[in-house]
Amino acid sequence: MKKILSTLTVLTLLLVVLFWLSGTTSDSTVEQRELSGEHCTVIIVGKKASADGSTMTTHTADCGLCDWTWRYVPPADHKPGSTRKIYRISQTRTWPPEQGLKWDLIKKDFTGVEIPEVPHTYGYVHGVFGYMNDQQLAIGESTIGNRPKLSNPTRTPVFNITMLTLLAMERCRTAREAIKLIGSLAEKYGYGGEDGGEMLAVADPDEVWVFEIMPVGPFWTPESGKPGAVWCAQRVPDDHVCVCPNESRIGEIDLNNPDYFMASPNVISCAVENGFWDPKSGEPFSWKKAYSPVEGSARTDPRRARLWRFFDLVSPSSKFSPALPNIEFPFSVKPDRPLSVKDVMELTRDKGYGSFFDPTRGIRGGPYKNPNYDRSARLISVSQAEYTTVTQCRHWLPPAIGGIVWLAWGAQDTSCYMPFYAGIKALPASFSVGDHWVFNRASARWAFDYVDFHAQVAYSLAIEEIKKAREKWEDGMISRIPEIDGKALELYRKSPARASDFLTSVCLDNAEDVIRAWWQLGDELLVKFNHLSYYNTERRTVERKRMEFPDFWKKAVRIFDAIFE
């Protein structure tokens, strides 16, 4: 047995060494390989860049096979001397439904580490990550990758990014508090495992920060006395917007300006020790160039197009060229006009229409202009999204009322955003169940996949029906928010508990209505476009002509046929 264990130890060390040595390969090649499947765009809006004064963040959980379930964790008081167990929570792992819910099963992977509990933990909602707590702290996430030399796939680091966001939700009221907590825990106990370079958009009602964190290599141990992570954070100016499309966004830093920059104590030394930056080079230190450099531009690599696309949409007056290397783009920009929450929702749905990487140009989208056929470019809106969030933090309201998470299940273009206030006490039961491999009408997510599936056959026609439904349910709810705010504030002044009950009822009732509407919409799409014909459900007739292919498609078919004649 000892010989077997010894052999396994040697093999493990060899694998770690080989992994570490792989850092000598081209950074750009590795970076592209690591991020080829990533699409989780984060949009960030400062309070003076928004139409209503709220700070906003987004997150697209883009995995395509991850656990999508959500749950509500209530606030709690804890006895002196109690501890908080730390678990390894994979972003991607799922279990068959018959084995139980993910958030129960994660307890099987206890790290063995417990940290001191705080007297009171806040209530919050979370999916793959923590998104908002009852203090209006909000988070969005994007994987950004790191130099291979820094990766630490061992089990030595205690923390990964999911666990860190949950602890921030439990313990923090402001963005600065959350950044300091996450950074200090990662430094002390180590960061890594299956997670590498990650970015968090961390927001409160007054500020939004970009926080980026990396492991420090496979040989780190707590006994080394060195930080178990390297991290940096930069505040987004209040009148600016920012985006993270799976790329590091922080460039040159000024740690003498703590109002806009924070970092781990090893932020410079780690780069120097690993040969990522030479102080004698004459070049200023750049976080992203040192720790997560990327090559290419929107023009040279459509997988890099989201960065240019976002800036072109929000600030066309800046006239950024798609040929500008992504690593040279500014950290943030002042938008040409303030953005509303609806504007941000529509940005998450952007398919690049009208741009040089429009997925429906020519015949790419088929006869019904389906943007999901051509996947050569990485779009802001992606078909494999688990869900997308838009968070709002509003400083003029009490935290329970001021914070809202707007949640849309599945693909953004065929889904509908539903609001959940920070002060709610529950989520719909249908949010906690379901997975990709078992169809389940008790799962909210499947209602939206049901619509999305039926939309793919005749996309250009079906999407118009979906927009009508969204206008009723999404736009209708947006227009109701001021009224809901007012009623909740009136109740809050008398009893915060009554306000929470009211908000919970409103949000759950709306969610149930939307889910029912989407199941019905899926049925209607199936019937209406069945057999590629128009079935008029009101007149109970079928149009005399079958659904006609557009002229451009007929011409393309003739040209293609001529090639083989």
**Tens-place pLDDT, residues 318-360:** 999 999 999 999 999 999 999 999 999 999 999 999 999 999 9
> Of the ranges 206-215, 257-266, 291-300, 550-559, which one carries the lowest mean pLDDT score?
550-559
| pLDDT at residue 3 tops 50 | no
Q: State residue 375's pLDDT score.
A: 87
Q: For 64, how many CA atoms within 13 A lie in the half-sphere containing its CB?
A: 7
Distance CA 153, CA 141 (A): 20
Higher pLDDT, 5 or 468: 468
Q: State residue 31's pLDDT score.
A: 42
Question: Taking all residues of the chain, what is their mean pLDDT, rounded to a whole number?
Answer: 92
Q: State residue 300's pLDDT score.
A: 95
3-class SS of residue 57 = strand
Query: 10 Å Cβ neighbour count for 211?
Result: 24
**The two three-digit tokens of residue 97, written as one number:** 């439904």
The model's confidence at residue 38, banded by pLDDT at 50, 70 and 90, is low
Q: Buried b vs exposed e over 292-313: b needs ≥16 C-beta within 10 Å?
A: bbbbbbbbebbbbbbbbbbbbb
Distance CA 372, CA 109 (A): 37
512 phi and psi angles, rounded to 5 deg? -65, -40
Using CA atoms of 519, 524, 526, 530 in order, give the dihedral in degrees to the nearest 10: 180
Q: Above pLDDT 70, what percent of the chain?
A: 93
Hey, which bits of 506-546 come out as E strands? 535-536, 541-542
Q: State residue 57's pLDDT score.
A: 98
Q: State residue 37's pLDDT score.
A: 54
pLDDT digits (tens, 9 = 90+) for 114-163: 999 999 999 999 999 999 999 999 999 999 999 999 999 999 999 999 99
How would you class 564 by CB atoms within 10 Å of its CB: exposed for 0-12, middle for 13-18, buried for 19 or more?
exposed
Q: State the average pLDDT over residues 511-540.
A: 91
| pLDDT at residue 365 tops 90 | yes
| pLDDT at residue 539 tops 60 | yes
The model's confidence at residue 546, banded by pLDDT at 50, 70 and 90, is low
